[in-house]
């Protein structure tokens, strides 16, 4: 722990002061690179509006391809201000990415998008990151704060992560990728590509099998997709379809009862509390879009999509079965302009987002009659606009707003009194200023309002009768927040850096509250909460192919009213930090990454009664080489075999009893790819 603290202090000093030793002047002409938005971005992104007064990080394709991480959450975990929690170590649907301290509710407060379209479902299931092959990603855009709510809609209270797959080189031929590693991990991918600029077709198959780190943690996943893209004259189009299946064992937690001298986290971390529980999913997605350049700097685009997922979770150990079907249809027309008006430069994007989700939920208790069935739908129509306006050569105004109209209908077939049908209108807004102190240094300040509407799952779990298990109410308030942020982005010599300070005040945060007396819990609106923090990250080119990228985030998330006033929000660490080191040669590369996560409260420990989740440090390394059409890479994760967990739940009735979810120890993976 002493070593971790010293490393964190060193990281903070380096990240904040790397470039401070050199003083930028007006004579300098080198442009900022790592954290500054490109001036024009394709229709796959809505960041063409600029957002120069917001904290944005762009992770490029080279950094993604050479990152020592098998999954997208593992890659995102090494970005400043992002904290990733996992339960079983599968790294995809079991992982949650948190921006700015929402803890257990991170998935509902951070939007995950692919080419500008959300992939979060309107239930409490995890995001299926595996549906986006790492090989197809061109860049990842991380947008922090309420500005994301204006661009992408409700639910982006903490921020948004947009995974861009469009705009890459259109290849032809066949590629095969094979990966094998610890815990009997096996993955095979095949990609067929053909065509040119006018029409290009890509077919892919992705099959993964693993026994998992824990017993009853086996994973089988299959993903098949087809993508058609092209451009004729000034019109670009795309069509895609994806079918996926997944089966995952659910081993449950490892019990710790210190007075009884029971600690399965230490004595049997790979065991299973629930050796028969499992979940399975079947899903299909269809998406299409067209973009037309109707004049210089003026583009009109329309996206549409449909997705349907069928999930079944069998909790044999607790005699429960949960089956659900979700279907979502959406259409998103928008217009983008990049030019000047009245002598002022302007980047603008605006449009309409419309979607409708229908849900069918069936819950049963094994061996008992009856159960609970829920049917309903949730619709959303919003109008938005976001612009960057150059007031002077150095001063830029960011302004944007979104009006969201949401409709919900939900009812329980067993209890006619438990039903809700509401319509409400909410506003998200963003306003900021950015000033170029020099050509390579910018300071910015912004503020904004974000909203989050309760999901169907959260309404279903609002409150149950402890005797009949029937729903009593579906009433939940819409969550709102106001945030403020000031910061700077600058480039000095070989260093690019970003530092920002922020505060976010949240009203009616939606969360799960355990029932200490009945043993049952329910979703509710919390008392007011607040988040304060500072983020710093930097990238430095050391020469001879070496780069170093330190990062540090300090965050205090706490209740500001009610019985928990002053207590920390659970599963939000105060300190996350890390350093990445990379080397690139002519045909070889190597990377190493250290990540520190400080102590944090257990998932349901608002009262701060239980021991904290211990801090942990992880070191991952990777290296690769290529020769002709063949490339080989290897990855060693958790080099020092750290014993750790990032999720833990305390007993509703016993403060000495809790369950934790141990994560994998040292693991090795080897990947080989060949192009024909």
Residue 256: CATH number of its domain: 2.40.170.20
Residues 448 and 429: beta-carbon distance below 8 Å: yes
- Average pLDDT in the 20-45 region? 36
Q: What pLDDT band is residue 621 in, cutting at 50, 70 and 90?
A: very high
Residue 633: which region, alpha, beta or left (left: phi > 0; alpha: psi -120 to 50)? beta
Top-confidence range, 33-37, 89-93, 105-109, 599-603 = 599-603
Closest CA to 564 of 601, 531, 527, 532: 527
Strands, E, within 439-545: which ranges?
Answer: 441-452, 463-464, 471-473, 479-492, 495-507, 510-513, 522-525, 529-543
Check whether 124 has a pLDDT greater than 90: no
Half-sphere exposure of 133 (CA within 13 A, CB side): 25
Q: Which of the residue ranges 1-10, 256-265, 401-410 would you say has the lowest mean pLDDT?
A: 1-10
What per-residue confidence (pLDDT) applies to 382? 95
Average pLDDT of the chain, as a whole number: 84
Tokens 């949730």 map to which residue?
Answer: 378
Closest CA to 35 of 21, 51, 49: 51
Closest CA to 660 of 236, 253, 114: 253
CB atoms within 10 A of CB 136: 18
Distance in angstroms (rounded) separating the CA atoms of residues 298 and 666? 52
Strands, E, within 28-108: which ranges?
Answer: 56-60, 82-86, 95-99
- Average pLDDT in the 155-178 region? 85
- Average pLDDT in the 625-633 region? 92
Check whether 248 has a pLDDT greater than 70: yes
Tokens 């080198």 map to which residue?
Answer: 30
Distance in angstroms (rounded) separating the CA atoms of residues 100 and 534? 10
Domain range for residue 350?
Answer: 2-675
What per-residue confidence (pLDDT) applies to 7? 45
H helical segments located in 367-469: 456-460
Residues 573 and 101: beta-carbon distance below 8 Å: no
Check whether 173 has a pLDDT greater than 80: yes
Top-confidence range, 47-51, 113-117, 255-259 = 255-259
The phi, psi pair for 490, rounded to 5°, reads: -155, 160
- For residues 42 and 338, the model is more confident at 338
Distance in angstroms (rounded) separating the CA atoms of residues 81 and 101? 9
What per-residue confidence (pLDDT) applies to 462? 56
H-run or E-run covering 108: helix 106-109
Q: Which of the residue ranges 54-58, 178-182, 481-485, 608-612 would you say has the lowest mean pLDDT?
A: 54-58
Instruction: Provide CB contacts within 8 A for 114, sequence distance 6+.
Output: 131, 132, 162, 163, 165
The pTM assigned to this predicted structure is 0.85
Residues forming a β-bridge with 301: 291, 334
Closest CA to 226 of 184, 190, 275, 183: 190
Check whether 555 has a pLDDT greater than 60: yes
Burial class (CB in 10 A: 0-12, 13-18, 19+), 37: buried
Q: How far is CA 521 from CA 18, 116, 458, 646, in A?
A: 48, 35, 12, 22
What per-residue confidence (pLDDT) applies to 463? 54
Closest CA to 130 of 222, 22, 226: 222
Residues 509 and 529: beta-carbon distance below 8 Å: yes
Check whether 62 has a pLDDT greater than 50: yes
Residues 466 and 520: beta-carbon distance below 8 Å: yes
Strands, E, within 271-297: which ranges?
Answer: 278-295
What per-residue confidence (pLDDT) applies to 302? 94
Residues 440 and 30: beta-carbon distance below 8 Å: yes
What per-residue confidence (pLDDT) applies to 184? 94
Q: Which of the residue ranges 159-163, 237-241, 262-266, 512-516 would you say has the lowest mean pLDDT?
A: 512-516
How is residue 348 written in tokens?
């603008």
For the chain, what percent of residues have pLDDT higher than 90?
52
What per-residue confidence (pLDDT) applies to 90? 65
What per-residue confidence (pLDDT) applies to 43? 41
DSSP 512: E
Check whether 210 has a pLDDT greater than 80: yes
Instruction: Provide CB contacts within 8 A for 45, sequence distance 6+.
Output: 115, 116, 141, 162, 164
What per-residue confidence (pLDDT) applies to 34? 38
What per-residue confidence (pLDDT) applies to 316? 80
Instruction: Provide CB contacts within 8 A for 104, sequence distance 6+.
Output: 511, 512, 570, 571, 603, 604
DSSP 210: E
Closest CA to 9 of 559, 536, 662: 536
The phi, psi pair for 83, rounded to 5°, reads: -125, 130
What per-residue confidence (pLDDT) applies to 122? 67
Q: How far is CA 564 from CA 559, 608, 658, in A?
A: 6, 9, 20
How is residue 236 written in tokens?
């670009």
Structurally, the chain folds into a number of domains equal to 1
Half-sphere exposure of 141 (CA within 13 A, CB side): 27
Tokens 């590693």 map to which residue?
Answer: 181
What per-residue confidence (pLDDT) applies to 513? 66
What per-residue confidence (pLDDT) applies to 422? 82
Closest CA to 495 of 549, 444, 434: 549
- Average pLDDT in the 55-70 region? 81
Strands, E, within 602-666: which ranges?
Answer: 616-627, 630-637, 645-650, 657-662
Q: What is the dihedral of CA 82, 108, 598, 11, to 10 degrees?
A: 10
Q: Using DSSP, how many helices (H) and how many strands (E) does the chain show?
A: 7, 37
């Amino acid at each position: 722990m002493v070593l971790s603290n010293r490393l964190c202090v060193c990281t903070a000093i380096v990240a904040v002061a790397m470039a401070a030793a050199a003083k930028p002047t007006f004579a300098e002409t080198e442009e900022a690179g790592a954290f500054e938005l490109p001036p024009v971005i394709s229709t796959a992104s809505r960041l063409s509006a600029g957002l120069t007064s917001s904290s944005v990080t762009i992770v490029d394709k080279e950094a993604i391809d050479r990152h020592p991480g098998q999954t997208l959450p593992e890659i995102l975990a090494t970005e400043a201000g992002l904290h990733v929690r996992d339960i079983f170590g599968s790294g995809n649907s079991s992982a949650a990415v948190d921006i700015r301290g929402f803890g257990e509710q991170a998935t509902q407060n951070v939007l995950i998008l692919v080419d500008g379209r959300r992939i979060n479902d309107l239930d409490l299931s995890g995001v299926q990151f595996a549906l986006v092959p790492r090989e197809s990603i061109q860049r990842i855009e991380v947008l922090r704060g309420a500005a994301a709510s204006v661009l992408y809609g409700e639910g982006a209270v903490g921020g948004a992560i947009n995974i861009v797959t469009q705009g890459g080189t259109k290849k032809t031929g066949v590629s095969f990728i094979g990966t094998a590693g610890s815990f009997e991990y096996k993955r095979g991918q095949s990609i067929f590509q053909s065509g040119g600029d006018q029409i290009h077709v890509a077919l892919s198959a992705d099959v993964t099998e693993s026994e998992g780190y824990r017993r009853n943690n086996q994973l089988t996943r299959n993903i098949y997709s087809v993508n058609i893209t092209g451009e004729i004259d000034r019109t670009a189009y795309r069509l895609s379809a994806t079918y996926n299946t997944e089966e995952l064992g659910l081993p449950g937690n490892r019990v710790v009862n210190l007075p009884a001298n029971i600690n399965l986290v230490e004595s049997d971390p790979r065991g299973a509390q629930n050796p028969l529980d499992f979940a399975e999913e079947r899903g299909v997605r269809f998406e299409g879009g067209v973009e037309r350049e109707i004049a210089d700097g003026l583009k009109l685009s329309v996206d549409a999509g449909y997705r349907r997922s069928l999930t079944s979770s069998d909790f044999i150990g607790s005699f429960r079965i949960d089956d659900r079907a979700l279907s979502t249809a959406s259409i998103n027309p928008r217009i983008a302009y990049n030019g000047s008006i009245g002598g002022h430069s302007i980047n603008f994007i605006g449009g309409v987002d419309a979607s409708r989700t229908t849900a069918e939920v069936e819950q049963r208790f094994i061996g008992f009659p009856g159960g609970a069935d829920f049917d309903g739908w949730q619709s959303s129509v919003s109008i938005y606009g976001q612009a960057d306006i150059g007031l002077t050569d150095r001063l830029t105004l960011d302004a944007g707003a979104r009006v969201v109209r949401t409709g919900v209908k939900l009812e329980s077939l067993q209890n006619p009194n438990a039903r809700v049908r509401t319509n409400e209108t909410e506003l998200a807004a963003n306003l900021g200023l950015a000033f170029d102190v020099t050509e390579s240094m910018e300071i910015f300040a912004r503020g904004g309002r974000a909203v989050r509407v309760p999901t169907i799952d959260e309404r279903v779990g609002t409150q149950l009768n402890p005797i009949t298990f029937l729903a009593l109410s579906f009433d939940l308030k819409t969550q709102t927040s106001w945030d403020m942020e000031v910061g700077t982005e600058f480039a000095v010599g070989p260093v690019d850096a970003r530092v920002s300070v922020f505060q976010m005040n949240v009203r009616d945060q939606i969360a799960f509250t355990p029932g200490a007396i009945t043993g049952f819990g329910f979703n509710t609106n919390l008392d007011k909460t607040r988040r304060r923090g500072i983020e710093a990250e930097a990238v430095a080119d050391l020469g001879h192919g070496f780069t170093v990228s330190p990062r540090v985030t300090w965050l205090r998330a706490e209740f500001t009213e009610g019985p928990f006033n002053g207590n920390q929000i659970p599963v939000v660490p105060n300190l996350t930090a890390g350093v990445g080191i990379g080397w690139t040669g002519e045909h070889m590369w190597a990377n190493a990454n250290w990540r520190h996560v400080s102590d944090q409260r257990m998932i349901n420990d608002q009262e701060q009664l239980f021991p904290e989740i211990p801090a942990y440090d992880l070191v991952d390394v990777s290296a690769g080489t290529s020769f002709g059409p063949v490339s080989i890479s290897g990855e060693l994760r958790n080099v020092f075999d750290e014993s750790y967990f990032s999720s833990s739940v305390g007993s509703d009735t016993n403060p000495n009893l809790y369950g934790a979810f141990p994560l994998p120890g040292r693991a090795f993976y080897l990947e080989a790819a060949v192009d024909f």
